Copies of this chain bind each other. A is one copy, B any other.
Amino acid sequence: MLDKISVVLVETTHPANIGSVARAMKTMGLCQLVLVKPYDFPSARAKWLASGAVDILDKARVVDTLDEAISDCQLVLGTSARLRRLPWPMISANDAGRKAVEFAASGQNVAVVFGRESKGLTNEELQICNHHIFIPADEVYPVLNIACAVQIICYELRMAYLARSGQTQYDPSSLFRMPVSTSAWDEPLSTYSEMQGFYGHLEKTLLDIGFYDPNNSRQLLSRIARIFQRTRLDKMEVNILRGILSAVGKLKPKS
């Protein structure tokens, strides 16, 4: 089940970190690593730090864009320590583990995205994500090494996986952990590419009807996307919304 969850590293600078991430993943049973424009890969240094997890480096997928890395994913979780101007739905590492495993268990693809060592993810990259994972670090120095951040997330993924498959050695009903919603949905969820298609259609429609001025409403599209990113649309919902947009497209200004 954990093989439905991939770790995506965006423009990692140090090959040592890529190796350490692979090791962190493997100790927790994760195996899918995707590298977006790594600065130096493959490398001997990464292999050295991967230790017993060289197989994960060997089969890592290397791509040019974050879009490409997550195109078949139904759930995308981003990680960022930086505060943004536009708040995004936050989820704790603990809840993120449960949510990702719940998605994976129902056959959905999940990506957890980690940014550059120096400056994390860009605003554009963060807004692609459905949720941002919050690791409750100390305010005095909240700067986790990337491999350590991956280790914590993969640990929570594994804890959620063990709890779900009944192999637990910890008490899932304990004070700090809440039960996972298991309610089934009636329609398959949309993929990232389907959502991009919808957003493109929406943007064009808003331009056509004169509601959106790219020069004067910088946050507008982000605010609208945030509504749908946090709600996770299913395929039928995307079809309904695009149907509305098509109906609007057949109208013309009253003169």
Contact = CB atoms under 8 A, between A and B. Distances in A.
Interface of A: 20, 23-24, 26-29, 51-53, 86-95, 98-99, 131, 134-138, 140-145, 147-148, 151-152, 155, 158-160, 162-163, 169-176, 178-181, 184-186, 206, 209-211, 220, 223-224, 227-228, 230-231, 233, 236-237, 240-241, 243-244, 247-248, 250-254
Nearest to A142: B27
A82 to B, nearest CB: 14
B254 A138 contact: no
A160 B170 CA distance: 15
Contact of A251 (B160, B220, B248): B248
Nearest to A209: B247
Given A52-B143, A206-B244, A227-B237, A87 B27 contact: no
A136 to B, nearest CB: 5
Contacts of A148: 20, 23-24, 27, 147-148, 151
17 contacts: A20-B145, A27-B141, A27-B142, A27-B143, A28-B138, A91-B179, A134-B170, A136-B159, A137-B158, A147-B147, A163-B175, A176-B181, A179-B230, A227-B233, A227-B241, A231-B231, A251-B252
